[in-house]
């Protein structure tokens, strides 16, 4: 099978035509405030969306997700509420620290960070406990409406297999390439579609290449399909 040239329009259209999802597929989308989104993203680290959703639900019910409520909460109660997310001892400590910083430095509101230029806001977010490049980019794109592209394991895997990103690229190099490949107004949509495509079809193990709508544009998929 001949490999056809890939474009952002093709990726978006092909995946949009096939994939339908809602907020239940992405627990972080249920967040009502930037602080809640930050906590949701911390909880999502190194765990499944199902576990993230469960922890968020219990945290809302038992404590509430505001800086003030979390700061006042007993640490043991906090750990119990987020236990489903895994690494709950570490995450609970980080969440407590974040609540304190957000109250003392930002008056309880993270929104003011998004008023700054993209890279300045990104650096400031990454200075917070537990916040790395991916978490910062999620915050900036989802809550701040900033033009950046978060990369999780699914986005990384799919974009590398499609040749949008090189295997040797680190997070920052991959982020820049994805930002060049997709138009800024479609960053959020592309991010979500790539994640869902990675979950359903372009899986880490046993990818369903023969069923992939992007197979004719993917050398990885074509090579693997020939071996099966």
Q: What is the CATH number of the domain that holds 161?
A: 1.10.1670.10
Which of the listed residues 78, 112, 143 is the one where a domain comes to its end? Answer: 143
Place of tokens 């709950």: 88
Give, as one character, the DSSP assignment of residue 74: -
Catalytically active residues, by annotation: 134, 152
Residues 134 and 167 in one domain: no
Write down the pTM of the prediction: 0.92
pLDDT-above-90 percentage for the chain: 86
The answer to whether 146 and 140 are in contact (CB under 8 A) is yes
The answer to whether 17 and 105 are in contact (CB under 8 A) is no
Residues 35 and 107 in one domain: yes
Residues 114 and 33 in one domain: yes
**1 within some domain:** no
The answer to whether 37 and 139 are in contact (CB under 8 A) is yes
**214 within some domain:** yes
Q: What is the pLDDT of residues 38-88, one digit of tens each?
A: 999 999 988 888 899 999 999 999 999 999 999 999 999 999 999 999 999
The rounded distance, in Å, linking the Cα atoms of 165 and 177 is 6
pLDDT-above-70 percentage for the chain: 97
**CATH code where residue 114 lies:** 1.10.340.30
Q: What is the pLDDT of residues 124-136, one digit of tens each?
A: 999 999 999 999 9
**In the prediction, which pLDDT does 228 show?**
61
Backbone CA torsion sign across 220, 221, 226, 228: positive
**Mean pLDDT on 158-185:** 97
Q: Looking at the 3D structure of the chain, how many domains does it have?
A: 2
The rounded distance, in Å, linking the Cα atoms of 150 and 141 is 8
The answer to whether 39 and 130 are in contact (CB under 8 A) is no
Query: In 3-state terms, the chain is what percent helix, strand and coil (to 5)?
Result: 70, 0, 30
Residues 217 and 187 in one domain: yes
For 142, counting Cβ atoms within 10 Å of its Cβ (0-12 exposed, 13-18 middle, 19+ buried), the class is buried
**3 within some domain:** no
Domain that holds residue 155: 8-23+149-227
Residues 69 and 98 in one domain: yes
Residues 138 and 153 in one domain: no
CB proximity list for 5: less than 8 A, separation 6 or greater: 217
Residues 40 and 53 in one domain: yes
How many Å is the Cα radius of gyration of the chain?
19
**67 within some domain:** yes
Q: How sure is the predictor about 23, in pLDDT bands with cuts at 50, 70 and 90?
A: low
Residues 30 and 137 in one domain: yes
Main-chain dihedrals φ then ψ at residue 107, nearest 5 degrees: 60, 25
**186 within some domain:** yes
The rounded distance, in Å, linking the Cα atoms of 101 and 83 is 23
**In the prediction, which pLDDT does 126 show?**
97
Backbone CA torsion sign across 204, 216, 194, 183: positive
- DSSP character string of 11-22: HHHHHHHH----
The rounded distance, in Å, linking the Cα atoms of 46 and 14 is 29
Which of the listed residues 108, 143, 178 is the one where a domain comes to its end? Answer: 143
Residues 69 and 161 in one domain: no
Q: How sure is the predictor about 4, in pLDDT bands with cuts at 50, 70 and 90?
A: confident
Which of the listed residues 127, 143, 159 is the one where a domain comes to its end? Answer: 143
Residues 30 and 139 in one domain: yes
Instruction: Extract the tokens encoding 195.
Output: 């994640």
């Amino acid at each position: 099978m001949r490999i056809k040239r890939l474009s952002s329009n093709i990726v978006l259209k092909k995946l949009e035509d096939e994939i339908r999802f809602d907020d239940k597929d992405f627990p972080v989308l249920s967040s009502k405030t930037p602080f809640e989104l930050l906590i949701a993203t911390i909880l999502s680290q190194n765990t499944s969306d199902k576990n993230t959703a469960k922890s968020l639900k219990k945290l809302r019910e038992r404590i509430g997700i505001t800086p003030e409520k979390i700061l006042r909460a007993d640490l043991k109660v906090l750990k119990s509420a987020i236990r489903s997310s895994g690494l709950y001892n570490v995450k609970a400590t980080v969440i407590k620290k974040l609540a304190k910083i957000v109250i003392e430095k930002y008056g309880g509101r993270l929104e003011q960070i998004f008023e700054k230029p993209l890279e300045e806001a990104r650096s400031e977010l990454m200075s917070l406990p537990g916040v790395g490049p991916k978490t910062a980019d999620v915050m900036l794109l989802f809550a701040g409406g900033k033009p950046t592209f978060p990369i999780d394991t699914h986005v990384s895997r799919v974009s590398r297999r499609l040749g949008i990103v090189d295997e040797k690229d680190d997070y920052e190099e991959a982020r820049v390439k994805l930002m060049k490949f997709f138009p800024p107004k479609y960053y959020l949509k592309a991010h979500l579609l790539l994640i869902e495509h990675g979950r359903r079809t372009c899986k880490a193990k046993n990818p369903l290449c023969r069923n992939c709508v992007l197979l004719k544009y993917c050398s990885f998929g074509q090579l693997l399909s020939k071996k099966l």
